[in-house]
Amino acid sequence: MEVVSDIRGDDEMLATRLRAALGDDQVRTGEAISDRYLGDWSTERRGRPAVLVLPRSTEDVSRALAACHALRRPVVPQGGLTGLAGGAVPDEGAVVLSLERLNRIECLDADSATLTVQAGVPLQAIQEAAQAAGFLCGLDLGARGSCQIGGNISTNAGGNRVIRYGMTRDLVLGLEAVLPDGTVLSMMNQMGKNNTGIDLKQLFIGSEGTLGVVTRAVLRLHPGISGANTALVALDGFDSALKLLRHARQALSGQVSAFEVMWRDYYQAATSLEGARAPLAADYPLYVLLDMQSPRPQDDAARFQGVLEHALEQGWAQDAAIAQSHGDAEAFWALRDSVAEMLPKLAPTLNFDVSVPISRIGTCVERMRAAMESGFPGIAHMYFGHVGDGNVHIVAGPLPADGGLTEHGIEEAFYTIVRDLSGSVSAEHGIGLHKRPWLEYSRSPAEIQLMRTLKQALDPQGIMNPGKILES
């Protein structure tokens, strides 16, 4: 594949071209670029961008890309910068294109149950707009206040409600994207059914800004909810969690909206944080946060309680606490969401976001624990995740300062286990920079070659987010 030339055009010439195309207020250089644009939530930092572009419209994005294309300058799209895989981190001298000013909610069509938005709208604003009109946006994640829908689409974000509503991909009906040469592809489909050949929008969902820039989207909305039945359940092991999941899905007619598992080490760390509540004793092997959202939660309470009673009678559940108020439910969720507070205590950490078929998660965690205990004693490791989706997160740390040797060793051990269990090295955060060396553990040589062929076809000059997902 042809790669971006090492000999970059003159930065000043580029900035002048961009200013002429977009206006002064959309282009920043040098010290006027704040450090916030140097990277995302990952600790990876590569260098200072030469230019920051802050477009206000699709046409501005198109003009900016056309100018960069003409000068063969690498462009790094940035959303809310909450990504965890280093996908939005620019190299020294790159052009950063931030979508933060494309932040308009354009229209809510109640009859079609769709919401049309620009790419830079924060997820939380979308959730609130949907709720105000009696609908629900099925996407929800801890970074909701900062992440943007364009970033969610580009990473195919998962989050807390995938078991009920699917990944971001399942919520996108239509998309507008700008190709690296500035061509605008408007695919703002609003229908649930549209089988007119290859579904091109899928190319831009989950491709982490390597094929083009997402500028607008049509999102599918779901019927609104007014609350949830929520419980925290203590279990004697992963087999019991599988039985509870299967039973809950059937007994609640597919309405389970979260099935989050915390292994004992995670639960103990979460409940020891300042201000945390411990609704159940902390010495059970496993805890499940079970949640069922609905328009009238009180109508479903008996069915929900019945599931828990059945689990206790069968001996799968050892104890259970049902949230009696919104405050209780928030306290249960706070335990599950408290990883951000735990990370500084374990820093420097290594964070994993893997998936394996649900039935193999117990084996996966057991093998990982054994690998840590035999190969890396003294490093803490905690396990939790969206187990209803086959997704486990692992945090390990603190890592010793040995130039990345331990990090590489743990990654190799864990990703080998994942590969042996037919899993994926990234369930939801994406490949970015961090997981690029491990892509081949989950994708075949033929698949990786097809990714390269697509990249070459859409971005022959290799300017779009080079070095992310694949080597440039």
Give contact residues for ligand FAD (rule: CB under 6 A): 40-41, 76-84, 87-88, 99, 119, 141-143, 147-148, 150-152, 154-155, 157-159, 208-209, 213-214, 340, 428-429, 432, 465, 468
Closest alpha carbon to 284 in 343, 241, 340, 331: 241
CB of 111 to ligand FAD, least distance (A): 28
State the Cα–Cα distance between residues 244 and 62, nearest whole angstrom.
51
Which CB, 300 or 428, lies closer to ligand FAD? Answer: 428
CB under 8 A, 24+ apart: contacts of 236-241: 236/284, 236/285, 236/286, 236/315, 236/316, 236/318, 237/285, 237/286, 237/362, 238/286, 238/361, 238/362, 238/365, 239/362, 240/286, 240/311, 240/315, 240/316, 240/317, 241/286, 241/288, 241/316, 241/362, 241/387
CB of 203 to ligand FAD, least distance (A): 11
Which CB, 279 or 385, lies closer to ligand FAD? Answer: 385
CB of 87 to ligand FAD, least distance (A): 2
**What residue type is 156 in one-letter code?**
N
Which CB, 214 or 317, lies closer to ligand FAD? Answer: 214
CB of 178 to ligand FAD, least distance (A): 9
Which CB, 56 or 247, lies closer to ligand FAD? Answer: 56
The helix/strand/coil state of 381 is strand
CB of 140 to ligand FAD, least distance (A): 8
Which CB, 144 or 381, lies closer to ligand FAD? Answer: 144
**What residue type is 74 in one-letter code?**
P
Which CB, 151 or 362, lies closer to ligand FAD? Answer: 151
Q: Tell me which residue has its CB nearest to ligand FAD.
A: 151
Phi, psi (rounded to 5 degrees) for 241? -65, -40
CB of 161 to ligand FAD, least distance (A): 10
The helix/strand/coil state of 294 is strand
CB of 213 to ligand FAD, least distance (A): 4
Residue 347 half-sphere exposure toward CB, CA atoms < 13 A: 9
φ/ψ region of 113 (left if φ > 0, alpha if ψ in -120 to 50, else beta) reads left
Which CB, 41 or 316, lies closer to ligand FAD? Answer: 41
How many residues appear in the chain? 472
